[in-house]
A and B are shown apart, each in its own frame.
Chain A
Amino acid sequence: MILQVDNPVVEVHDLTVSYDRKPVLWGVDLTLPAGALVGVIGPNGAGKSTLIKAMMDLLPSGSGYVRIFDKPINEVRKRISYVPQRESVDWDFPASVFDVVLMGRYGNLGLFKRPRQADKDAALEALEKVGMQAFADRQISQLSGGQQQRVFLARALAQNADLYFMDEPFAGVDIATETAIIELLRTMRDQGKTVIVVHHDLQSAANYFDWVVLLNMRLVASGPTEKVLTQELLEQTYGGKLTVLTKVGDLLRKQEFPMREKR
């Protein structure tokens, strides 16, 4: 069940990525449609983060190529944005919330130029969208996990990109933040932007995404959510946990059991 689309936003062809000569992603071939909210789903160690990093060319790939907006990535970097995992940075860094969100404007400014009023306005507006305008001057070390995630999201919004890559934006955030974020992502999708989200909560996936990519070192499936989130494909993705998965399938149908993995 790997569905290819016409005029894709992202086109991945025969992508293989290795760490220390040990492949973590094998021969991934996929295309993603424009204006979709895409979930990348799979067990721990399946290569979900690796896939989006390789799409952005942040990791050296062994073989294959990626085209974004039908161009090599380096020609379209101004149109893409990235929300890294929260843990990837040092939150004790001497910076305010506003400083971090303003970084979203750096890519468009180029060397020598300082942020102008328009950039500052865009940063404030982005903060407002995530409900953090009151925290603009707050030191980033004083934020909770959910607030840190909102700040990262605001930074990406300030960029006003067309394609967003998000690495586990729902990891370790409270329910209120999760709801706020998903609402925001839906609004962005409705404005024609494409959002690719690494996610590992199977239960919410069905509600959140239009398009799902199932991954476990190889690409298992890529297609519209209702066609991809089937028990058979989930079993293929989660492999060894076959019996557990039968239960997961049952629970999924009942929609009452939170399957978020503990981090």
Chain B
Amino acid sequence: MNAFWIILTGSLVASCCSLLGCYLILRRMAMVGDAISHAVLPGIVIAFLLTGSRDSVPMLIGAGLLGVLTTFLIEFFHRYARVQSDAAIGVTFTWLFAIGIILISVFAGQVDLDQDCVLYGEIAYVPLDLWITEGGLSMGPRTVWTLGIVTILILSFIIIGYKELFLTAFDPGYAAAIGVSTSLWYYLLMTAVSLTTVASFESVGAILVVALLVAPPATAYLLTDNFKTMLILSVMLGVVAAITGYYLAVWIDGSIAGAIATVTGIEFMLAFLFSPSRGILISKKLIQPVQH
């Protein structure tokens, strides 16, 4: 049963991250996902200090706010201080993450969080933290419920906003001209990334969330030219990585999150070598390196 819960958790994390990651990489914003995944930390800690519990809802709200603040700060430094956007990303998220670390260390006695957990997560503990109703009925791991709800939210967001998300990712100038608000959809997307990150960090940690946000979409991008296929394929790649990663970890008796992320990397390498359209070993087209 434990294996089932761990794999389900991994699959839910992978699905949310892969779906949103497709939009991030096409907007050339993969590193903003990285930034958000780290910068939500102070939000989590502050929510924890204010409410005194590891309840999911305040944490999701705290992280959501911090995520939006992060994207806002990145935009702000880039646009008004005219710092290069990667420099703006680097300054913003390390700074916010550092504040989170300080908060954790200062309030260590009161905070049921530690740096290792934040950075690396521990998916193996998921089945231990059960949601038990007042009647004493066990409803399964709490994380699975949180992640399940977040997955439904992300799915509905993508289904409802499919047209707008597609259009604003491809051609924001045109979108704005015909009356589709680019900043609204940008901030909604970033809020969704923040929610996903905070729901995932307990299980896979802040660092490996990035692997799931970027690697499956990048792999899917190599395998298809159709955007809907890319979304579906990246979810499938993420879920396959969660399953394979779990058994790999059991086999080598190592970190589960690490193994899952390793499998996403292997998937990417395989697609890079053998993709029918773009793989360097299969494709008949001579691959031209991108010119800068």
Contacts and interface: CB of A to CB of B under 8 A. Distances in A.
A84 B173 contact: yes
A74 B179 CA distance: 7
Given A82-B173, A111-B160, A106 B221 contact: no
Contact of A94 (B174, B180, B230): B230
A93 B161 contact: no
Indicate the size class of the contact surface on chain A: 20 to 34
A58 B164 contact: no
A88 B177 CA distance: 14
Interface in A60-88: 74, 77-78, 80-82, 84, 88
Contacts, number: 80
A169 to B, nearest CB: 13
Contacts of A155: 174
A255 to B, nearest CB: 35
Given A89-B170, A89-B171, A107 B227 contact: no
Contact of A96 (B26, B162, B177, B226): B226
B179 A77 contact: yes
For the complex, would chain B's binding face be called helix, strand, loop or mixed by DSSP majority?
helix
A94 B224 contact: yes
B284 interface: no
Interface in B122-144: none
Contacts of A139: 225
B164 A95 contact: no
Given A80-B177, A84-B171, A94 B82 contact: no
A112 B166 CA distance: 14
B176 interface: yes
B178 A80 contact: yes
Indicate the size class of the contact surface on chain B: 20 to 34
Interface string A99-126: 1100100110101101100000000000
A15 interface: no
Given A20-B82, A106-B163, A93 B173 contact: no
Interface of A: 20, 53, 56, 58, 74, 77-78, 80-82, 84, 88-90, 93-96, 99-100, 103, 106-107, 109, 111-112, 114-115, 139, 141, 155, 159, 165
16 contacts: A20-B82, A77-B179, A80-B178, A81-B178, A82-B177, A82-B178, A88-B173, A90-B26, A95-B226, A96-B226, A100-B170, A106-B164, A106-B178, A107-B178, A107-B180, A114-B163
Given A56-B177, A82-B173, A84-B177, 19 more contacts: A58-B177, A80-B178, A84-B171, A90-B28, A93-B26, A93-B169, A93-B170, A93-B227, A94-B224, A95-B166, A96-B225, A99-B227, A103-B167, A106-B178, A106-B180, A107-B180, A109-B163, A112-B160, A115-B163
